[in-house]
């Protein structure tokens, strides 16, 4: 069992009363899942940045990306 202070317990109970969570257990479960997901996404972001730092795009790749982006926007019917 995990203990929390009265102020946090009251805040969680208020969220349960508002229907945001079904119960205290639901609040804990969903909150932990959100934290784990956030940290997982941050790690993926760090890995992507590390990859680009190790293997940066060449100028030719960047020019191709710019040209393709311009072409895609120009093709939009707006």
Instruction: Compute the radius of gyration of the chain from its Cα atoms.
Output: 23
* Amino acid 78: pLDDT: 83
pTM beyond 0.85: the answer is no
Tokens of 20: 């945001």
pLDDT tops 80 at residue 1: no
Which residues lie below 8 Å from residue 43, measured CB to CB, with a gap of 6+? none
Percent of the chain with pLDDT over 90: 94
User: pLDDT tens for residues 9-41?
Assistant: 999 999 999 999 999 999 999 999 999 999 999
Q: What is the mean pLDDT of the chain?
A: 96
Mean pLDDT for 54-60 is 96
């Amino acid at each position: 069992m995990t203990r929390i202070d009265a102020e946090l317990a009251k805040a969680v109970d208020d969220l349960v009363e508002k229907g945001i969570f079904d119960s205290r257990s639901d609040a804990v479960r969903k909150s932990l899942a959100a934290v784990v997901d956030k940290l997982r996404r941050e790690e993926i972001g760090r890995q992507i940045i590390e990859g680009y730092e190790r293997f940066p795009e060449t100028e030719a790749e960047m020019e191709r990306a710019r040209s393709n982006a311009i072409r895609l926007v120009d093709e939009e019917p707006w």
